[in-house]
């Protein structure tokens, strides 16, 4: 019965999607707005009571909310690589976060998005798009991984994993330095506002030609720098960490509002596909993010680590106010963008599928990180650990993963395990890893008590690692 309901919902969704524009119509602009580390529940349209996100809520109401959207990896760097490449990152050995402290004697110049991979920038440029990346890059520090040689005509942002939000002299900031196409500069405002301003300028400059804008905010990733005025709006929130987070989220929302206003002001809002999502589950160690009703945090393969808010809006094409239960992944963004651009036959190497096209209903997704792995097929979710028996959950009835059905549903468990092994057989060995500290810490983070205890100490960086 549930399957039937899902199928019906999905078909309603499909009917609401018109065909991509005719070739005589100008190609639509495509904008991907990415938040960083935000909680699953920390947006108004996701039911938050603390966070206020009126502009993102308006965007959500103008399009479709995907309730079962997943990242490829539960933390920043490989997740962004999966979005950019449109593929499982384990196919090219990008299984771990970048480590900025490689073991002695290790040549780390290969640590980044494999130069053989074509990015969404490369592929949209081939379709005649002006390609622009604004914000956090985090898929390689070395010159061969720089956005300007990875498919983006324009880059304004920083190549590392995190940056201070208050303007700093970039000469002293290393990988957090703000640059425009390789030229260092000092931002003019609070970083979230600075990125929004730059995105708005690019929209105005490119209004007469199709463009692809990857607006990858580092908000609301740590450090928890916040504008006083933004924080003051949330004086009623008693938890100081949540209050700061609400202020940071407010700035992010302000930026989304400015981008949407710029599209309208330039008369291109009707011809622009906008996707809004987040790069991994909410961080509960450092941000006190709220992933309710999901369990777990960033870095785990629990739903709270891998399921993210996701909105797609395209006036006249995607039905406003709609919702989908289709299981999707951030690697679907690339084929969706190509489909919107008018590409009839998608490249075979991609793992994703266009959200604008008819899709298979029984899609399976897989995850592997270090010594943990997971699989999702239909309502079933398998979790495989190095130090305890595998677990099985029915997400249709138990999205919070509270009732392990492994012993009751052994056939389902075996079938999913077999599918997982088959998928792993297509992947390659990781090209680097982040070392024993994280291998152990990431297993510990399946415990809510451990996460809570770590958050108490989260004022300082953990293990010297930027995550
Ligand atoms: Ca992140």
C-alpha torsion sign, points 144, 145, 151, 153: negative
CB 11 within 8 Å of CB 297: no
Strand order in the sheet with 372-377: 364-369, 372-377, 380-384, 391-394
Cα–Cα distance, 284 to 39 (Å, whole number): 8
Report how far ligand 1's centroid is from the alpha carbon of 288 (Å). 14
Tell me the three state secondary structure of residue 145.
helix
Is residue 276 very low, low, confident or very high in pLDDT (cuts 50, 70, 90)?
Answer: very high
- The rounded percent of the chain whose pLDDT value lies above 70 is 92
Q: How far is CA 344 from CA 30, 92, 125, in A?
A: 17, 26, 16
154-158 and 130-136 as β-strands: parallel, antiparallel, unpaired? parallel
Provide the whole-model pTM.
0.93
Of residues 457 and 331, more confidence is placed in 331
Is residue 172 very low, low, confident or very high in pLDDT (cuts 50, 70, 90)?
Answer: confident
- Residues belonging to the chain: 467
Least Cα distance to 303 among 324, 319, 327, 285 occurs for: 327
* pLDDT tens digits for range 311-326: 999 999 999 999 999 9
Cα–Cα distance, 224 to 285 (Å, whole number): 12
Tokens of 97: 């976060």
Q: Angle, to 10 degrees, between the axis of helix 76-85 and the axis of helix 333-340?
A: 30
Kindly state the average pLDDT of the residues 443-459.
88
Q: What is the pLDDT of residue 464?
A: 35
Cα–Cα distance, 360 to 348 (Å, whole number): 16
104 Cβ contact partners less than 8 Å away, ≥ 6 residues apart: none
Q: What is the pLDDT of residue 293?
A: 97
Q: How much is the mean pLDDT over the chain?
A: 91
C-alpha 96: how far from chain center: 15
Report how far ligand 1's centroid is from the alpha carbon of 3 (Å). 32
Report how far ligand 1's centroid is from the alpha carbon of 152 (Å). 21
Q: What is the pLDDT of residue 313?
A: 98
Report how far ligand 1's centroid is from the alpha carbon of 287 (Å). 11
pLDDT at 24 over 60: no
Kindly state the average pLDDT of the residues 225-236.
96
H/E segment holding residue 216: strand 211-216
Q: E strands within 295-421?
A: 307-308, 310-313, 322-329, 364-369, 372-377, 380-384, 391-394
Residues linked to residue 131 through DSSP beta bridges, in sequence order: 212
Kindly state the average pLDDT of the residues 401-415.
98
Cα–Cα distance, 403 to 406 (Å, whole number): 9
Kindly state the average pLDDT of the residues 147-169.
96
Where in the sequence numbering do the catalytic residues fall? Answer: 76, 138
- Segment among 151-155, 169-173, 331-335, 391-395 with least mean pLDDT: 169-173
Tell me the three state secondary structure of residue 443.
helix
Cis peptide before 28 (omega within 30 of 0): no
Q: What is the pLDDT of residue 323?
A: 97
Is residue 361 very low, low, confident or very high in pLDDT (cuts 50, 70, 90)?
Answer: low
Report how far ligand 1's centroid is from the alpha carbon of 375 (Å). 21
Report how far ligand 1's centroid is from the alpha carbon of 364 (Å). 24
pLDDT at 359 over 90: no
Q: What is the pLDDT of residue 460?
A: 46
Report how far ligand 1's centroid is from the alpha carbon of 4 (Å). 35
Kindly state the average pLDDT of the residues 26-32.
97
pLDDT at 14 over 60: no
Q: What is the pLDDT of residue 360?
A: 62
pLDDT at 399 over 60: yes
Kindly state the average pLDDT of the residues 275-279.
98
- DSSP string of 22-60, one letter each residue: PTTSPPPEEEEEEESS--TT-SGGGT-SS---HHHHHHH
Q: What is the pLDDT of residue 459?
A: 52
Which residue in this structure is represented by tokens 């990781």? Answer: 430
Is residue 107 very low, low, confident or very high in pLDDT (cuts 50, 70, 90)?
Answer: confident
Is residue 11 very low, low, confident or very high in pLDDT (cuts 50, 70, 90)?
Answer: very low
Report how far ligand 1's centroid is from the alpha carbon of 315 (Å). 29
């Amino acid at each position: 019965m549930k399957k039937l309901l899902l199928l019906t919902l999905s078909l309603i969704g499909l009917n609401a999607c018109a065909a991509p524009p005719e070739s005589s119509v100008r190609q639509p602009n495509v904008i991907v707005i990415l938040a960083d580390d935000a909680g699953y529940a920390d947006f108004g349209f996701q039911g938050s009571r603390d966070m206020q996100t009126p502009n993102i809520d308006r965007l959500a109401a103008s399009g479709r909310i995907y309730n079962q959207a997943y990242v490829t990896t539960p933390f920043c760097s490989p997740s962004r690589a999966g979005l950019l490449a449109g593929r499982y990152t384990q196919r090219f050995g990008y299984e771990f976060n970048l480590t900025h402290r490689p073991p002695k004697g290790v040549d780390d110049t290969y640590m980044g998005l494999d130069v053989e991979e074509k990015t969404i920038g490369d592929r949209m440029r081939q379709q005649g798009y002006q390609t622009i990346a604004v914000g956090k890059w985090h898929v390689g520090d070395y010159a061969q991984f720089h956005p300007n040689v990875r498919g983006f005509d324009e880059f304004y942002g920083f190549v590392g994993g995190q940056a201070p939000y208050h303007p700093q002299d970039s000469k002293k900031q290393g990988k957090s330095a703000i640059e425009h196409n390789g030229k260092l500069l000092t931002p003019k405002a609070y970083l979230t506002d600075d990125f929004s301003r730059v995105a708005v300028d690019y929209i105005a400059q490119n209004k007469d030609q199709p463009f692809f804008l990857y607006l990858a905010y580092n908000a609301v990733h740590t450090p928890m720098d916040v504008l006083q005025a933004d924080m003051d709006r949330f004086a009623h929130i008693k938890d100081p960490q949540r209050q700061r987070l609400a202020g940071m989220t407010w700035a992010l929302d302000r930026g989304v509002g400015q981008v949407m206003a710029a599209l309208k002001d330039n008369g291109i809002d009707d011809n622009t596909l906008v996707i809004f999502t987040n790069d991994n589950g909410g961080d509960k160690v450092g941000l006190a993010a709220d992933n309710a009703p999901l369990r777990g945090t960033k870095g785990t393969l629990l739903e709270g680590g891998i399921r993210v808010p996701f909105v797609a809006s395209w006036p006249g094409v995607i039905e406003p106010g709609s919702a989908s239960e289709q299981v999707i992944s951030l690697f679907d963004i690339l084929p969706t963008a190509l489909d919107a651009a008018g590409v009839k036959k998608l490249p075979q190497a991609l793992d994703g599928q266009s959200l604008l096209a008819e899709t298979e209903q029984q899609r399976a997704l897989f995850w592997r990180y270090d010594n943990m792995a997971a699989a999702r097929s239909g309502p079933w979710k398998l979790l495989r650990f190095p130090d305890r028996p595998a677990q099985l959950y029915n997400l249709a009835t138990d999205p919070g993963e509270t009732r392990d059905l492994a012993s009751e549903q052994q056939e389902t468990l075996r079938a999913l395990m077999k599918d997982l092994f088959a998928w792993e057989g297509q992947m390659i060995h990781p090209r680097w890893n982040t070392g024993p500290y994280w291998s152990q810490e990431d297993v510990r983070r399946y415990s809510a008590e451990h996460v809570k205890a770590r958050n108490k100490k989260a004022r300082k960086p953990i293990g010297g690692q930027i995550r």
